[in-house]
Amino acid sequence: MDLDGTLFYPKKRFQFISRQNIRFLRWAAAQGHHLVFVTSRNRHFVQRVIDKINLPIDIVSRNGSEVYYRNEMIQKTYLDAKLSRAVFEDIIGRHARTMLSIDADSVTNLVYSKGKIWYLNLIYRLYYWYQGVYREPYLIDNDVFVDKLSAHGDDLQRLLIYFGLSNKSKKLSHDESERLQKAFPELSILWIHNIIEVSPKSVSKANGLKLIMERENINANDVYVIGDSGNDIPLFETFEHSFCMAQAHPRIKQHAKHIVRRVYELQSYLEKDHS
């Protein structure tokens, strides 16, 4: 299951997961269901969440760039630095105001901002302050960002592109994600609300989950997936038992078979299907 917008919904600034969702996870584990967190977050953040609820849970992090099975890493995939640089140059060449960030082994949330830098920086700082317990470290430094893409980009995992929080910015993100996917077919480019996510072509949450299924000999018909954003669409399209959060964008919800308001609502589906 996805975390942000899904297991973390609604967000509680001082606790990761609602009590109802924690009860559901513990019920599912007690029933013998194999739990996997499938998320864009890094492994260290996800491990903090798992430690809080104290359950055996496998991890597909960075949207499939990293896969951990029984605390052992079984996959790590990197983003091509030259292609990442080409996307970066394309975006800053077309837009007067934007922000980009990269995640790599050596750094998390390294941010580049163009345009009204003080304004964008303020928004970014306020956004991360508001995240509460969901915060991750970040660094806003254009020079370090460009150097990472140019000379030290052998450990890149994903590139994120931001245009703002307004509905206009969200539409721009959607349109640009489609344009970029056509321009860079060698990459996976997904629209996630007001963010564009760039990853290696072979990487997806669905492909990462399949690796764990192979280790556990789990049939696809026995897999239940739940999410809320564009990077969850591969899950929805791969597995029959697909659930999307009700607050998701209509473009996302149309790919899932079921719509739910909260993660713990899956319990009734599981009880019905396994009765």
Beta-carbon contacts of residue 215 (< 8 Å; ≥ 6 apart): 69, 74
- Please write the tens of the pLDDT for every residue from 97-125: 889 999 998 888 899 988 765 555 666 66
Helix axes 19-30, 43-53, angle to 10 degrees: 80
Tens-place pLDDT, residues 180-196: 999 999 999 999 878 99
Residue pointed to by tokens 């349109």: 175
* Same domain assignment for residues 89 and 179: yes
Whether residues 7 and 70 share a domain: the answer is yes
Q: Which of 14-23, 67-76, 217-226 has the lowest mean pLDDT?
A: 14-23
Q: Which residue segment(s) compose the domain that 58 sits in?
A: 3-77+203-273
188 and 150, same structural domain? yes
Give the mean pLDDT of 66-95.
Answer: 95
214-238: average pLDDT: 96
- Length in residues, the chain: 275
Instruction: Let me know whether 68 and 27 are in one domain.
Output: yes
- What is the biggest distance separating any 2 CA atoms in the chain, rounded to whole angstroms? 58
Q: Give the Å distances, CA to CA, from 55 to 8, 20, 194.
A: 16, 15, 32
Cα dihedral sign, 25-28-32-37: negative
Q: Report the pLDDT value the prediction gives residue 150, as an integer from 0 to 100.
A: 82
pLDDT at 169: 86
Average the pLDDT over each of 98-112, 123-137, 216-230 and give the range with the smallest value.
Answer: 123-137
**In a shared domain, residues 207 and 130:** no
Boundary-marking domain end, from 149, 180, 200: 200
pLDDT above 70 covers what percent of the chain?
Answer: 90
The residue among 15 and 184 whose pLDDT is bigger is 184
The two tokens of residue 117 are 């830098």
Does position 264 have pLDDT exceeding 60, yes or no? yes
Per-residue pLDDT at 152? 63
196 shares its domain with 90: yes
CATH number, domain containing residue 267: 3.40.50.1000
Instruction: Say if residue 172 is in the same domain as residue 86.
Output: yes
**pLDDT value of residue 187:** 95
Q: How far is it, in rounded angstroms, from Cα 223 to Cα 209?
A: 10
Of all residues in the chain, the percent with pLDDT exceeding 90 is 69
pLDDT at residue 13 in the model:
58
Average pLDDT, stretch 43-55?
91
**pLDDT top residue among 224 and 152:** 224
Residues 185 and 102 in one domain: yes
Give the model's pLDDT for residue 120: 59
> Cα–Cα distance between 234 and 241 in angstroms, integer?
13
pLDDT for 116 equals: 63
Count of domains for the chain:
2
Q: Which of 142, 176, 200 is at the close of a domain?
A: 200
Residues 50 and 137 in one domain: no
Q: What is the CATH number of the domain that holds 122?
A: 3.30.1240.10
Q: Write phi, then psi, for 11 (nearest 5 degrees).
A: -65, 140
Is the same domain home to 95 and 196? yes
What are 146-178's pLDDT values in tens digits?
A: 998 886 668 899 999 998 778 888 899 999 999
Q: Are residues 117 and 192 in the same domain?
A: yes
Q: Which of 178, 200, 222 is the last residue of a domain?
A: 200
Contact present, 150 and 88 (Cβ < 8 Å): no
Q: Is 109 helix (H, G, I), strand (E, B) or coil?
A: coil
One domain for residues 49 and 90: no
- Write the single-letter amino acid at 233: I
User: Measured between alpha carbons, how far is 177 from 196 in angstroms, rounded to an integer?
Assistant: 6
